[in-house]
């Protein structure tokens, strides 16, 4: 720990700056103080009180024009940085399912923005990474074609929403190319199913599943766990979005539970829908979303059908890698240049050093309390939700937690990717089975 100085260094360009993030109150957010987003917003002073009946969905930290962060004096973060940040850092509190969606690649983003700037407000791609803060449920990527085939046979109501041509393609495919073609045919057929048909079949499906749930299954061990999980997920989604055929999405998307500290990366053109829980999310600086179901917002089904990569299997789940020679600093590095995230944990009675970085960075206190110091003599009190900007080439940050504290101080820091040659999260290049889904999973 460096000796304390009585005054700040003259070079203010190296000082850490408190930030005010932007709050987004979408309908799927967690209500009241149960939402981490609400508690963080209260701590940073961007709200004066928390409405117990209001949903608090997202906290944005960055320079995106839809929700730019500001300094305490009202100046924009972008004016302090001198340019837009290439990434957008978020905290999400998901109380109900977000839409079935995907994000465009760069070329499609340019096209969508030119043709429909109202619904696609920028021309950037949006690869994104999620890190679970609580147990987190999500639907990510298409199921393997063998799983979908089994579900088509088991659930006639789902099968009735798919054309005979698409079902035949699913049952007959034999190689990687034919599997992708069959998957695209099935998804396009399901998404174009007449509303009257899909609502009728969904109602029949729910009635049957509810009856099965309310009675003792005659042969409970003959049904694979992943199939039971599918049925429960359909019932749950249908309660959130009555009459929406998107409730059958677990029949073709992987349904996953991610543990705190685990992460996954969603490349452009990959389908997903977050279901419940709280996460950190970092992405390229964009808000482009192509939606197709489980949402009251604008749906763009044809673009979604056309843009998807139709890769099968769930995402690779990653728990990070130690960084800077300290296992208390975990690095989450995607295969894109715009961003990476560090999670630093300082336990009671310990000290921890965050090294100097050559690029602009932002960090948010996730939980716990403590203090930070730097060589400029700047001391900051750490409390959950407090958010800061670290200028490039700032002095190392020295973190300490008093021995009397009962919990660890956890900080999440985002910046431009400095370890692109050593990604911890990778893009899937071929289909695979996610553990716990198709074979002997539980």
CATH number at residue 286: 2.60.120.10
Q: Residue 186: pLDDT band by 50, 70, 90 thresholds? A: very high
| Residues 159-180, mean pLDDT to the nearest whole number | 95
Q: Which residues contact 196 (CB under 8 A, 6 or more apart)?
A: none
**HSE (CB half, 13 Å, CA atoms) of 224?**
13
Q: Residue 6: pLDDT band by 50, 70, 90 thresholds? A: very low
pLDDT digits (tens, 9 = 90+) for 291-343: 987 888 888 988 999 999 999 988 889 999 999 999 999 999 999 999 999 99
Note whether 284 and 205 are same-domain residues.
Answer: no
Note whether 37 and 166 are same-domain residues.
Answer: no
pLDDT at 396 over 70: yes
Within a domain: residue 95? Answer: yes
Note whether 241 and 263 are same-domain residues.
Answer: no
Note whether 273 and 228 are same-domain residues.
Answer: no
Note whether 27 and 134 are same-domain residues.
Answer: yes
pLDDT at 136 over 90: yes
Within a domain: residue 68? Answer: yes
Structure-token match 């996953």, residue found: 256
Q: What is the CATH number of the domain that holds 208?
A: 1.10.441.10
Q: How far apart are CA 90 and CA 392, in angstroms?
A: 21
| Exposed/middle/buried for residue 162 (C-beta within 10 Å: 0-12, 13-18, 19+) | buried
What pLDDT, on a 0 to 100 scale, did the predictor assign at position 69?
A: 98
| Exposed/middle/buried for residue 34 (C-beta within 10 Å: 0-12, 13-18, 19+) | middle
pLDDT at 442 over 50: no
What is the pTM (predicted TM-score) of this model?
A: 0.90
Within a domain: residue 427? Answer: no
Note whether 81 and 28 are same-domain residues.
Answer: yes
Of 257, 260, 259, nearest to 345 by C-alpha is: 260
Note whether 196 and 266 are same-domain residues.
Answer: no
What pLDDT, on a 0 to 100 scale, did the predictor assign at position 237?
A: 93
Q: Residue 428: pLDDT band by 50, 70, 90 thresholds? A: low
Q: How many domains does the chain have?
A: 3
Contact 346, 403 (CB under 8 A): no
Q: How far apart are CA 89 and CA 233, in angstroms?
A: 29
Note whether 404 and 366 are same-domain residues.
Answer: yes
Within a domain: residue 440? Answer: no
* Last residue of one domain, picked from the residues 204, 225, 250: 250
- Cα distances from 244 to residues 138, 141, 201, in angstroms, run 18, 20, 11
pLDDT at 5 over 80: no
**HSE (CB half, 13 Å, CA atoms) of 380?**
24
Within a domain: residue 70? Answer: yes
Centroid of chain to Cα 392: 27
What pLDDT, on a 0 to 100 scale, did the predictor assign at position 363?
A: 97
Note whether 291 and 215 are same-domain residues.
Answer: no
Using the CB atoms, write b or e for 223-234: b if 16+ within 10 Å. Answer: ebebbebbbebb
SS3 309: coil
Within a domain: residue 420? Answer: no
Of 138, 131, 142, nearest to 314 by C-alpha is: 142
Within a domain: residue 216? Answer: yes
Note whether 100 and 50 are same-domain residues.
Answer: yes
Note whether 97 and 243 are same-domain residues.
Answer: no
Helix/strand/coil percent split, the chain, to 5: 30, 30, 45
Note whether 265 and 245 are same-domain residues.
Answer: no
- Residue 186's domain comprises 145-250
pLDDT digits (tens, 9 = 90+) for 87-129: 999 999 999 998 899 999 989 999 999 999 999 988 899 999 9
Q: Residue 161: pLDDT band by 50, 70, 90 thresholds? A: very high
Structure-token match 């999670």, residue found: 343
What pLDDT, on a 0 to 100 scale, did the predictor assign at position 427?
A: 60
Q: Catalytic positions, please?
A: 291
Within a domain: residue 439? Answer: no
Backbone angles phi, psi at 390, to 5 degrees: -110, 115
């Amino acid at each position: 720990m460096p000796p304390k100085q009585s005054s700040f260094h003259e070079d203010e360009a190296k000082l850490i700056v408190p930030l005010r993030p932007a709050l987004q109150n979408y309908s799927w957010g967690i209500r009241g103080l149960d939402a981490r987003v609400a508690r963080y917003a209260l701590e940073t002073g961007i709200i004066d009180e928390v409405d117990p009946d209001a949903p608090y969905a997202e906290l944005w930290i960055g320079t995106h024009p839809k929700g730019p962060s500001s300094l305490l004096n009202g100046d924009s973060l972008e004016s302090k940085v001198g340019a837009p940040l290439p990434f957008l850092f978020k905290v999400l509190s998901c109380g109900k399912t977000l839409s079935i969606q995907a994000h465009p690649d760069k070329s499609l983003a340019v096209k969508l923005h030119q043709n429909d700037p109202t619904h696609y407000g920028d021309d950037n791609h949006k690869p994104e990474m999620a890190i679970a803060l609580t147990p987190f449920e999500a639907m990510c990527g298409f199921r393997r074609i063998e799983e979908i085939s089994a579900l088509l046979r088991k659930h006639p109501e789902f099968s009735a929403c798919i054309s005979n041509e698409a079902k035949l393609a699913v049952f007959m495919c034999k190689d990687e190319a034919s599997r992708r073609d069959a998957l695209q045919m099935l998804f396009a057929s399901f998404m174009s199913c007449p509303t009257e048909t899909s609502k009728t079949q969904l109602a029949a499906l729910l009635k049957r599943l509810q009856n099965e749930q309310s009675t003792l299954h005659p042969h409970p061990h003959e049904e694979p766990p992943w199939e039971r999980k599918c049925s429960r997920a359909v019932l749950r989604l249908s309660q959130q979005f009555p009459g929406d055929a998107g409730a059958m999405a677990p029949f073709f998307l992987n349904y996953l539970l991610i543990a705190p500290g685990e992460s996954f990366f969603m490349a452009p053109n990959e389908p997903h829908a977050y279901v419940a829980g709280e996460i950190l999310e970092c992405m390229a600086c964009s808000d482009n979303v192509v939606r197709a179901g489980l949402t009251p917002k604008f749906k763009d089904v044809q673009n979604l059908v056309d843009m998807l990569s139709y890769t099968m299997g769930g995402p690779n789940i990653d728990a990070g890698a130690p960084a800077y020679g300290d296992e208390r600093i975990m690095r989450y590095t995607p295969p894109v240049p715009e961003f990476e995230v560090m999670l630093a944990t300082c336990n009671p009675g310990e000290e921890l050093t965050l090294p100097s970085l050559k690029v602009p960075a932002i960090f948010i206190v996730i939980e716990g309390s403590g203090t930070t110091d730097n060589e400029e003599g700047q001391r900051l009190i750490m409390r959950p939700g407090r958010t800061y900007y670290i200028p490039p080439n700032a002095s190392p940050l020295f973190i300490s937690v008093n021995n009397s504290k009962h919990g660890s101080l956890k900080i999440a820091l985002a910046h431009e990717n400095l370890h692109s040659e050593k990604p911890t999260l990778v893009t899937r290049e071929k289909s695979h089975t996610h553990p716990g889904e198709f074979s002997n999973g539980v």
